[in-house]
Chain A
Amino acid sequence: MTTLAYTLSDSRVMLRRNLKHQLRYPSMTLMLVGLPIVLLLLFVYVFGGQLGAGLGTHEGRSAYLDYVVPGLLLVTVASAVQGTSIMVAMDMTGGIIDRFRTMAIARASVLTGHVLGSLIQTLAALAVLIGVAFGLGFRTTAGPLAWLATIGVLALFAFALIWLAVALGLAAKSVETASNTPMILFLLVFLSSGFVRTQTMPGGLRQFAEYQPFSPVVDTVRGLLTNAAVGDHAIAAIAWSVGIALAAYLWAIRLYNRRRAAEPK
């Protein structure tokens, strides 16, 4: 086999290991998939009546459902990558990573396995959330092409955040830290155009909300699902995704290759 063939084979083995982990640790998988659904129900049935009234239509709650689904798709992504960070930290704080490091395997395959496994998990979680949203009466004018674009934008952004989560998991000294740091991503979804229009926010916060990476992704997805123009939002969303992915990838690889400097305790 060639080096490339070994790399592909090792990555596939690590991906299979990662998917098995997700099945063997169902409580976490269910939590990560379940949380966005609970939030969807909460926002539609508890807050939705009042928040929907603020949208200026007469349909209130059902209009808010249509409005908030893109925001919850991003919550789903944030929730899933928290799992990535936890899984990576579990690997790094356990003994098995040292075993991998003393074997002649493609070095990055451990991380590749995590990234691909998380991407599959995220896409599955997104599909579940979209299914539930339709069950609650979500309406969209999107055709197949718009759906494809929606999935593409979300997958690209998820890919970027997964690499970020991998880096956070590598940087964390404990699994607890790895579980806590990605919480900031949840906060960023709330501080975006995901749940309310940024125009309703006070100055400063509004600027922040408009210029942080989650808003253009939310606006792009919302535009695609409502047949509105996405133009600048899509460019910003793709630029943010590529930028975050590249920076996080380089950070993660650097952390991974940095051999442990201290003697193990």
Chain B
Amino acid sequence: MTGQTSAPGIVARDVCKSFGSHLVLDKVNLTADEGSILALLGPNGAGKTTMVRILSTLIPADSGSMHIAGHDVVTDPDGVRALIGVTGQFSAVDNLLTGAENLLLMADLRHLGRDAGQRRVTELLEQFDLTDAADKPLSTYSGGMRRRLDLAMTLVGEPRVIFLDEPTTGLDPRSRLTMWEIVRELASAGVTILLTTQYLDEADQLADRITVLDQGRIVAEGTPAELKSRIPGGHVRLHFADPDLLRSAAGLLPAAAPDQDQLVLQVPADGTVDSLRELLDELHEARIAVERLSIHTPDLDDVFLAVTGSHVTGRPDEHPTPQGAAQR
């Protein structure tokens, strides 16, 4: 999946955009090789959606140059539109039509012709597991089904470059996995994909390269492995009932960091069940009672902490877990 091809699917240089006096994108550079997956990772308000809207010809940038599969976004928007597919954050389906009618509408607007259009619709309904619901009104669709239909509509014209703006936000875990599977299949078929996400694990799972955006600026860029090597690993927090127990435990585990005030011992861990079992066995044999424990896996907040030295700076009312993130 990693790019052995060199023709760039998406290239953006020095993209700037302000809304009024508010600078939303500050000299953003992006590159996605053809057939690769680029994840744009960042909290709410980082400018991810704005970047997608600019690259997909919805709004103009204030400055900068952007090319999609060689077509200039500014001077040849229709050339770009013929190549791209966009699935936005908000469902872009026609609620008064059935699933099949939605897809057929796209086929007609892509000028596929009656027979080819019908074939493509049948194919996509099957691929996205929507055949049974094809002739039902969208009011009967679940959230996951709507997302799948949304993406299927994007794929009707077999776009070479796809923009997915937070494709799994609000999906249940199972639908999320289905969506990941679809994204991987598309990339292996040679489609270039730019996806935005707030979840480190999603970027880690899917992307060939990750660009981290914070307040309109790129703060980190690299492969998932490169980025993760910059993040301190996960850890287990052990909570004790009294200071003596904490002291004994700290003596037993020299790599751990004790917190006398909170009676907590922070033990580095890789998050596997085996290592956790080993740790608990060790404490058990030394007859040190642990009151409770919490497991912490690295997330977006850790990336930000590592690359910017501060916690995520998303708008406080919109970001779900800045407070609880370190304790999860």
Which residues on A are within 8 Å of B, measured CB to CB? 1, 6, 9-10, 13, 17, 20-21, 24-25, 94-96, 98-105, 259-264
Contact = CB atoms under 8 A, between A and B. Distances in A.
B88 interface: yes
B20 to A, nearest CB: 9
Interface string B115-150: 000000000000000000000010000000000000
B220 interface: no
B115 to A, nearest CB: 16
A98 B86 contact: yes
A99 B108 CA distance: 14
Contact of B56 (A6, A20, A102, A104): A102
A104 B19 contact: no
Contacts of B50: 263
Nearest to A20: B97
Contact of B60 (A98, A99, A259): A259
Contacts of B81: 102-104
10 contacts: A13-B105, A20-B96, A20-B97, A100-B109, A102-B57, A102-B58, A102-B84, A103-B110, A104-B82, A263-B50
A21 B19 contact: no
A263 B109 contact: no
B326 interface: no
A105 to B, nearest CB: 5
B204 interface: no
B58 A259 contact: yes
A21 B96 contact: yes
B111 interface: yes
Interface string B74-105: 00001101101110111111111100010001
B94 A17 contact: yes
Contacts of A17: 94, 97, 105
Contacts of B85: 102
B111 A264 contact: no
